[in-house]
């Protein structure tokens, strides 16, 4: 991640970094990006931008990404909201593969349904290595049931987010996540802790199972294999073909000598635990990660942002500050909008009271819709100070 140089120096530097007309002349007008962001995010390499639906999360995330990229950081902008609007904002087709928008800035829109498909495909392939071919149909049936189970999309999405976090050092200086509305995002951020605990429970179960297997070997003296047909079977080691439930093959040990199968299962679980533990560690690292809340000066967004802040702090997720969006401009607006301004002033005072310990930025309501590079630069001017 590059240092933030002085303004005059950076203008000439950026002119050399971004030569040529291929990205449009407006991107070369970078005076709004030559200084530090107003929120304390200079050294935060992972940024999550969230809030109630419709408050301007996508425009805020995109403007931050453009500013950081123009300052020299290699930035990946990721949308995890199922209702993607990044492509509409930039008037570009953006899918689930990285697309270069400008120099130093790439973007992608994570497809939740596609991630579920890929996630279950990986799980299916892993499961097939542990069972006989006769079980493949049952595994496929279980995966189809899992596809529609509660939390499947969030688990698959968190798996992808954890993978993207691993792209920081080798490829990107910063990753910015344009998240789904607050409730969905809070469930997503809680998953690393939940799934780490779940995986830890599976590992403990495997350990107990291995201990029982060792005890069985000592009792039979055969490592769990069936006794010869002419000998008694006092503890039920012998299994007839087709005997037991459909998953009983997991309990048999003769197919892979030396506990190879158990060792492979443990390796898979350990890898999942490492991945989610790393994601959780990064989420809670105040030197690496920050969450930015976006809201507008109205009652419901304020209430939802307050609840979100309480949950984030309860999970020890660092919050860098707030962006108060669509604040009415100061010039005379006429009787109708002046009445709105009076109501807005009360909500702005409430925001200052309830979020007084957090840095706050006000972004004014623009006269037109935010769409395309020029309007995003206008938003960025309010996010990056002199």
Question: According to CATH, what is the number of the domain 30-188+269-334+343-383?
Answer: 3.40.50.300
Q: Using one digit for the tens of pLDDT, what is the confidence trace for 273-298?
A: 777 778 778 888 889 999 999 999 99
Q: Write b or e for each residue in 300-311: b if 16 or more Cβ atoms lie within 10 A of its Cβ, otherwise e.
A: ebbebbeebbeb
Model pLDDT for residues 211-240, shown as the tens digit of each residue:
666 666 656 555 445 555 555 555 444 544
CA nearest 179: which of 164, 197, 167? 164
Sheet of 75-79, strand order: 99-102, 105-109, 75-79, 174-178, 46-51, 289-295, 319-327, 360-364
Mean pLDDT in residue range 318-341: 88
For the chain, domain boundaries = 30-188+269-334+343-383
Please name the helix (run of DSSP H) or strand (run of DSSP E) that holds residue 175, with its range, or none. Answer: strand 174-178
Q: What is the pTM of this model?
A: 0.70
pLDDT in tens, 81-127: 777 788 888 888 898 889 999 899 999 998 877 878 887 887 788 77
Q: Provide the mean pLDDT of the chain.
A: 76
């Amino acid at each position: 991640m590059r240092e933030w140089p002085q303004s005059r120096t950076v203008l000439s530097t950026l002119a050399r970094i971004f030569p040529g007309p291929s990205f449009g002349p407006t991107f070369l007008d970078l005076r709004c990006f030559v200084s530090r962001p107003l929120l304390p995010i200079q050294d935060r390499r992972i940024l999550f931008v969230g809030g109630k639906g419709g408050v301007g999360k996508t425009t805020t995330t995109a403007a931050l990404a453009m500013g950081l990229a123009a300052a020299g950081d290699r930035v990946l902008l990721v949308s995890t909201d199922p209702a993607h609007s990044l492509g509409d904002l930039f008037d570009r087709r953006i899918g689930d593969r990285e697309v270069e928008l400008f120099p130093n800035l790439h973007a992608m829109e994570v497809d939740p349904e596609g991630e579920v498909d890929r996630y279950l495909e990986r799980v299916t392939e892993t499961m097939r290595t542990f069972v006989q071919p006769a079980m493949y149909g049952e595994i496929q049936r279980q995966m189809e049931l899992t596809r529609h189970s509660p939390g499947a999309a969030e688990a698959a999405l968190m798996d992808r987010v954890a993978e993207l976090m691993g792209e920081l050092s080798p490829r990107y200086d910063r990753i910015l996540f344009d998240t789904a509305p607050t409730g969905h995002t809070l469930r997503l951020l809680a998953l690393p802790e939940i799934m780490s605990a779940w995986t830890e429970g599976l590992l403990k179960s495997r350990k107990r199972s291995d201990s029982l297997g060792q005890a069985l070997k000592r009792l039979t003296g055969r490592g769990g294999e069936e006794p010869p047909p002419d000998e008694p079977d006092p503890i039920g080691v012998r299994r007839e073909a087709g005997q037991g439930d459909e998953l009983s093959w997991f309990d048999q040990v003769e197919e892979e000598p030396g506990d190879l199968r158990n060792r492979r299962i443990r390796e898979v679980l350990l890898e999942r635990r490492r991945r989610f533990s790393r994601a959780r560690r990064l989420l809670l690292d105040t030197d690496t990660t920050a969450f930015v809340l976006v809201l507008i000066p109205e009652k419901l967004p304020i209430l939802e942002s307050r609840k979100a802040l309480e949950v984030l702090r309860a999970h020890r997720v660092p919050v860098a500050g707030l962006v108060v969006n669509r604040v009415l401009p100061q010039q005379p607006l006429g009787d109708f909008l002046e009445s709105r301004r009076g109501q807005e002033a009360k909500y702005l005072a409430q925001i200052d009271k309830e979020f007084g310990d957090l840095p706050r930025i006000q972004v004014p309501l623009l006269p037109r819709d935010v769409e395309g590079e020029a309007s995003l630069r206008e938003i960025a001017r309010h996010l990056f100070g002199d």
